[in-house]
Amino acid sequence: MKTRKMLMSLVTCFIFSCFIHVTVARADELVTDGKAAILIEAQTGEILYEKNPHEQLPPASMTKMMSMYLILEAINNESMQWDEVIRVSENAASYGGSQIFLKPGEEMTVRDLFKSIAIASANDSVTALAERVAGSEEAFVEKMNEKAQELGMKNTVFKNPTGLTTEGHLTTPYDMSIIARHLLSDYPEITEFSSLYEDYIRQDTESPFWLVNTNKLLKYVDGVDGLKTGFTQEAGYCLTATANRNDMRVIAVVMGGSKSDIRNQEVTRLIEYAYEQYELVPKLESEKIVSSGYNMLAKNRQFDIVTAEPITVLKKKTDKEQESNYEVKLNKEIKLPIQPGDQIGTLTYYYNGEVYREIPLTVKESVEKNSFIGLLGYIVSQMIFGENA
């Protein structure tokens, strides 16, 4: 086992020796081999670089980002548990390609199956979990396409949960950046798995199985903690990578590369370009008090209105700071009770004289409806003592 790991490490080091030292190229030189690519800043969603971002191409195993999203959604909804034991079907065990060699009837926890997807891109594992989440592989694919439309992935059609070559199974770099961004923001625990370079499953058996991450950038590019590689003969070499440095997260997608090392070089150049050229400037923190509300029917008639999300401005490091301001607009009807997180208005943030972003407004603390006795007491006090009572 140790000899095998040592050989793998030596091979990996050799592969990466040609691009460990990456210099930042001009924007037009970032991706020349890959057929299509995109680079975005995750918090704002702003595009920093693109090449044929809406060209439909086969995504290979990057497909599994959507599969993992739906699996994590099921766990979050408590319809499935991490420690639940799954019995593997004949269908799931029959899958080739990247796999952990599951056998029909074998039992494995959701956590280990998910781990083998995130690290080793296991086709058999993702199929087993897809069947558990939706009842069948076909039903899971329907859920994949429904979620794609819900998230705005307009040029994506999924035919399977694995990414194995199937006619009509297509997406775009732009759509892959959408699912990657949602995966990271909605289920940040994904990086607990995708950041692991190696791990084991079947640890309590006589044949522990060594998982090695297909994303080699984890070892050689600062801040990289995911997300998903892909390769088939039809798709070429694909990669959606994400890195986080100094609270700025970027997502880079390259599709249709001719070789894995060239694909890795191009994704690395995208990431380095982002951090060399851009920075995030905090403007409004989450839960900042921006206004106050009043409702005579509430127990606490006056209450603080706060931002539900932070606002940061993405700018080129060479650009000067521009003037900024914001406008608060409350909903015409605000029904009681109001809980923190309930949207009661919108804040429009202006940067350099233009609308930069809109975020929801909510309350800092719960605003409960007053009782009849409480309301009556308030009216009486107003009549006797006046408005300041």
Contact call for residues 347 and 74 (beta carbons, < 8 A): no
pLDDT, residue 25, reads 55
CATH H-level, domain 22-279: superfamily:
DD-peptidase/beta-lactamase superfamily (3.40.710.10)
pLDDT digits (tens, 9 = 90+) for 21-77: 344 456 778 999 999 999 999 999 999 999 999 999 999 999 999 999 999 999 999
The one-letter amino acid code at 78 reads E
Q: What share of the chain is helix, strand, coil (3-state, %, to 5)?
A: 35, 30, 40
What per-residue confidence (pLDDT) applies to 19?
Answer: 39
pLDDT value of position 375: 54
Is the N-terminal amide bond of 337 cis, ω within 30° of 0? yes
- Asked whether 328 and 342 are in contact (CB, 8 A), the reply is no
Per-residue confidence (pLDDT) for residue 21, from 0 to 100: 38
Residues with catalytic annotation?
61, 64, 121
Q: What is the pLDDT of residue 29?
A: 86
What is the DSSP code (8-state) at residue 26? Answer: P
Give φ, ψ of 302 to 5 degrees.
Answer: -110, 135
Rounded Cα–Cα distance for residues 248 and 184 (Å): 13
Using CA atoms, how far apart are residues 111 and 117, in angstroms rounded to an integer? 10
Query: Given this model, what pLDDT does residue 294 score?
Result: 83
The pLDDT score that the predictor gives to residue 298 is 67
CB 255 within 8 A of CB 241: no
Q: Which residues of the chain have pLDDT under 70?
A: 1-26, 298, 370-389
Question: 285-385: which CATH architecture?
Answer: Sandwich (2.60)
What are the DSSP E strand ranges found in 70-223?
85-87, 107-109, 198-201, 209-212
Instruction: Give this prediction's pTM.
Output: 0.86
Q: For residue 3, what pLDDT is reported? A: 47
pLDDT at 167: 97
Q: How far apart are CA 197 and CA 48, in angstroms?
A: 28
Q: How do the domains of the chain map onto residue ranges?
A: 22-279, 285-385
305 SS3 class: strand
